[in-house]
Structure 1
Amino acid sequence: MTTTAPATRDVYRRTLLDLARRDPRIFCVDSDMGGLEDTFGAELPGQYVNVGIAEANLMGVCAGLAAAGLIPFANTMSGFALWRAGEQLRSDIAANNLPVRVVVTHAGLSAGHYGPSHHALDDLAVARTLPNLTLVAPADAVETEHAVRAAVDHPGPVFIRLGRVATPAVHSRPYRFELGVAVELATGDDVAIIAAAPRPVGVALAARDELARAGVAARVLNMHTVKPVDRAAVVRAARQTAGIVTVEDHLTTGGLGGAVCEVVCAEQPCRVTRIGAAESYLDAVADEETLLAVAGITVERVTEAARELLGHRARSVALR
C-alpha cells in the first residue's frame, strides 16, 4: 500500500458522468457540494439538478425522480444525509424501496478540518437500521468505481460512503467486486481483521504486516458492504481463527463491529474486539489522520488486540 490513488469522491464523480452519458435515466442531484455544476452540470444540464443546501429536499426530489422511473444519485455529506435529511431518507426512500443512490462524502473523520459538527462517526449505525438500504464503504478509488457501477442496476436504495482526499490504493490487480461479498486481502488462520473504508482497511493491512513480522498470520477482510454484511465470510473467520478484530472510522457502537457481533452471536460465537472511536465527541479540529490517532484507530491498537485474542486462545487450550 505505497501508491496513492485519486480521492474516492473524484473517481465517483468521473464514473457517474461516464455512466450518465450513456444512460439518460441517470440524474445527478446536487446539494451545492461544489464542482458538480462545472463538470456534470456543464456537460449534461438536462440530467443535473442542484437543490441547494437543502438536504431534506434533496431526498424528496430524488424519491420523486426514482418513482418516475429515473435513477437519481443524491450528493451530500455523510453527517447531513443522516441528521438533516434522515426522515426523508427513511420514509421517502428506504421505506418505499426506491432506487435512489445516496452518495455521501466527508465520512468518518475526513472532514475533521471543519470541526466536530462535520464528524460522521455515527452514520453507519443509523444507516444500518433503515429498511432495504444497501450500505457500501469502498476501500479505495478502484473499489469506488466498482461500487458506483454496481449500484446503477441494484433494485433498491444504495448508500455509498466516501471520504474527501486521496488515500492509498488497496487494489493493485483486477478482482471480482460484488455487493454483499467481502474481499479477502490477506490469508491467515491465526486471527482475523475485518475493516471497511479506506483508512481502516489501510490500518488493517499495516497491522497484518506488523503481525507477520512476529510470526502471526492474520486474515484481512475488506467488508466493503456493511449492509448486508457478508455473513458467510464472518462465520468462516469466527470458526477458523482465534477471534476477530474489527476496524472502522466510526463509533464502536452500531457500525461494522456491531454488524459482525450480530453475526457471530447468532451463528458462530467467538471473541470480537472492536477498534473504533469511543462514545464521545472529538472536540478537536485537525486533519483526518491526526484525529484517527486521537480516536485510537491505529495500527498499534489493532496489533495489540490481535495478540490479546491469540493469548486468550492459548490460555484456553492450556486449561483443557
Structure 2
Amino acid sequence: MAEMVKKATRESFGETVTALAAEYPEIVVLDADLAAATKTGIFKKAYPERFFDCGIAECNMVGVAAGLATCGKIPFAASFAMFSAGRAFEQVRNSVGYPKLNVKIVGSHAGISVGEDGATHQCCEDIALMRTIPGMVILNPCDHYEMQAAVRAAVEHKGPCYIRLGRLAVESINNNDDYKFELGKGITLREGTDITVVATGLMVQEAVKAADALKEEGISVEVINIHTIKPLDEELVIASAKKTGRVITVEEHNIIGGLGEAVSTALSEHCPTPVTRIGVNDVYGHSGPAVDLLKEFGLSAEHIAEVIREKLAK
C-alpha cells in the first residue's frame, strides 16, 4: 500500500506536471502571476525556459496557450478557478473549445475551502461553466494520488481539459494497491445497499467518513467517487441507483450546473430516482477559516450523515 499523504491537490498538481515534463518535452506551463499559489512555481524552477508568466491577464494567457497548442505543445494554463474558468470563459470557449485544441485549463483555489479569500475568489461556478463547452473533459481529483493520475491522463488525452485544484490539504484515500484511474470512469469506494452517495473532489473524503460512521448504526451506504465529471460515468451511477433506490450527490460547488445536475440528468433519462443534492445552495460564500466554512455550508461528513438519516427515515 502506498504511503498515506496529506497535501493540497494544487501542490500535487505542481509536482506531477513537473515530473511529467521530462517524459513529455511538449509540456509547457503558463500562469497568470500566481505561480506560488497554484504551485506552477515548481515547474518554473525546474524548466524556466518552458514556463510563461503572462501576468494578470488570464484571457491573453488562454490565447497564448491556444497558439502554443497549434505548434504541437501541450500547454497547461493555470490560475485561480475564478479567473481561468470565469474571467477567461470566452477565450476558453472560442479559442480552445471551438477548435478542439489540446489545451489544459487549470483552475486552482476552487470552492468554499479557499477560506479567507472570500466570495470573490471562492469559485463555485467553474464546473458549471466548463460543462457547457462541447468536448471539454472535466477532472476534479480528490487527493494526491488521484491528482497524479489525472494530470497524466490529461496529458495523454488529445483535446481540451479542465482540471480543478484545491487549496486545502486533504488526506489520501486512494493509496490502496488496487487503485486504478480511468478517464470517465468513477470508483466505488464503499459497497452499500440502503443509499448511494456520489461525491467529487474534496467531498469524497467527507462522504467516506459519513458512510463509515453510519455503518456502526447499521446503515449501508454506497460511496462513488466521480473524479471525471464530464464525461460522467453514467453506467456506474445508474447501476448503483437501481440497487439502492436513493441517491445523494455531494460537491463543493453550486448545486446548479455541477455534479448534482449531471447525475440528476442521467438518472431522469435512464433510471428515474429521487436525488438530493448537497452543495452550495445558490449563494455566495464569505471569508473565514476553510474548515469552519465547509461546516457552515453543510459540506461535512456530519451533515452528509444527517441528510442520509433523514432520507432513510422517510
Query: TM-score w.r.t. structure 2 length?
Result: 0.94
The alignment's C-alpha RMSD in Å is 1.6
Three-state SS of the structure 2 residue aligned to 1:301 is helix
Three-state SS of the structure 2 residue aligned to 1:116 is coil
Q: 1:197 aligns with which of 186, 194, 201?
A: 201
**What corresponds to 2:306 in structure 1?**
304
Query: 1:194–1:38: structure 2 CA closer, same or farther, 3 Å change rule?
Result: closer
The CA deviation at 1:203 is 1.4
Alignment check: 8 A CA contact 1:245 1:273 kept: yes
Q: Does 1:163 align with 2:166?
A: yes
Structure 2 distance, partners of 1:151, 1:91, is 20
Q: 1:80 aligns with which of 54, 64, 83?
A: 83
Q: Which has the larger radius of gyration?
A: 1
Structure 2 distance, partners of 1:229, 1:288, is 28
Structure 2 distance, partners of 1:20, 1:4, is 23
The CA deviation at 1:46 is 2.2
**What corresponds to 1:232 in structure 2?**
235
Q: 1:271 aligns with which of 248, 270, 274?
A: 274
Structure 2 distance, partners of 1:281, 1:6, is 26
The CA deviation at 1:166 is 1.4
Q: Does 1:178 align with 2:179?
A: no
Structure 2 distance, partners of 1:186, 1:303, is 15
Structure 1 distance, partners of 2:219, 2:45, is 53
The CA deviation at 1:45 is 2.3
The CA deviation at 1:82 is 2.1
Task: Please say which of residues 87-96 and 44-53 is displaced more in the overlay.
Answer: 44-53
Q: What 5-or-longer segments of structure 2 have no aligned partner?
A: none
Residues 107-166 of structure 1 deviation map (CA, whole Å, 9 limit, x = unaligned): 111322111110111111111111110001001011000000111110111111010131
Alignment check: 8 A CA contact 2:14 2:40 kept: no
**What corresponds to 1:218 in structure 2?**
221
Deviation >3 Å, runs of 4+: 35-39
Structure 1 distance, partners of 2:24, 2:14, is 15
Structure 2 distance, partners of 1:208, 1:78, is 30
Q: What 5-or-longer segments of structure 1 have no aligned partner?
A: 313-320
Structure 2 distance, partners of 1:10, 1:225, is 19
Residues 59-85 of structure 1 deviation map (CA, whole Å, 9 limit, x = unaligned): 101111111111001111111112210
Alignment of 1:281-320 (within 5 A): 281-282=284-285, 284-312=286-314
Three-state SS of the structure 2 residue aligned to 1:39 is helix
Structure 2 distance, partners of 1:96, 1:66, is 11
Structure 2 distance, partners of 1:187, 1:194, is 12
Q: Does 1:68 align with 2:64?
A: no
Query: 1:37–1:79: structure 2 CA closer, same or farther, 3 Å change rule?
Result: closer
Q: Does 1:153 align with 2:156?
A: yes
Alignment check: 8 A CA contact 2:114 2:168 kept: no
Structure 2 distance, partners of 1:129, 1:37, is 27
Number of residues of Structure 1 aligned to a counterpart in Structure 2: 309
Query: TM-score w.r.t. structure 1 length?
Result: 0.93
**What corresponds to 2:28 in structure 1?**
27
Query: 1:214–1:72: structure 2 CA closer, same or farther, 3 Å change rule?
Result: same
Q: Which amino acid aligns with 1:285?
A: S
Q: Which amino acid aligns with 1:88?
A: Q
Task: Please say which of residues 289-298 and 67-76 is displaced more in the overlay.
Answer: 289-298
Alignment check: 8 A CA contact 2:14 2:41 kept: no
Structure 1 distance, partners of 2:154, 2:35, is 23
Alignment check: 8 A CA contact 2:58 2:83 kept: yes
